[in-house]
Amino acid sequence: MQHSILIIEDDADIAESLHYNFKREGFRSTIAESAEKGLRVALDGKTPPSIIILDLMLPGMSGMELCRRLRREPTTEHTPIIMLTAKAAETDKIAGLETGADDYIVKPFSVKEVIARVRAVLRRAEKETPPRYQDERMSVDFEDMRVVSDGNDVKLTRKEFSLLEHLIKNSGRVATRQQLLDNVWGYSYFGDTRTLDVHIRRLRQKMGDCGGCIETVVGVGYRFIGCK
């Protein structure tokens, strides 16, 4: 299967460099010079992108706002998004991940690193998963990426869902922070482990009264214990 990549980037040199290198690696790619065009291409049901590379500093609508829009649309709510930006502050990274990005790469960057991260994100998105988890108060449909807690649908980002999925598949066992980063963010991720803690906190909040299904093992990591 040939994956398609949507590059939303207003810097022509960067966009063309990525486009050329993705093509060399066997990907199909499309360039959108603005957020508005990127939104139109992303929502085209005939040729949906496998993954989106998103610059944050775009004319008109910002990359952050576009990411929020994409996560609200059924067509793209689970499409992997990698943010590509010159904003290197930790607060910017956390904001990007909380908005719904699956990864965050700071400019200037290595094209080889971008390609490696794209492959890692796509591998995680395509992992074979068991069909369903069910307990007395919570159900998780891995195929449809649907979570129901106490009868209420829980809307999760792809990263949050991947975290929950990994924890459930290792139910009862402690998953260290490094294991979670390796399996959900990929082996190429060398960021701060606080990024993981932010995602776990948001996941618990969204799960409501079932947020306690994820137990903190102090100084080690997290464990899934179910919703009781």
| Reported pTM | 0.59
* pLDDT for 66: 94
Contacts of 124 (CB under 8 A, 6+ apart): 162, 183, 184, 186
> Any idea which residue has 């910017």 for tokens?
92
Q: What is the pLDDT of residues 75-132, one digit of tens each?
A: 788 889 999 988 878 888 888 888 888 889 998 889 999 999 999 888 877 664 457 8
Q: What percent of the chain has pLDDT over 90?
A: 50
How many helices (H) and strands (E) are present in the chain, helices listed first? 8, 12
Q: Which of 143, 180, 135, 175 is nearest to 159 (CA)?
A: 180
State the pLDDT at residue 199.
Answer: 93
Handedness of CA 177, 178, 183, 189 (dihedral sign): positive
- pLDDT in the model for residue 37: 94
Residue matched to tokens 């618990």: 204
Per cent of the chain over pLDDT 70 is 93
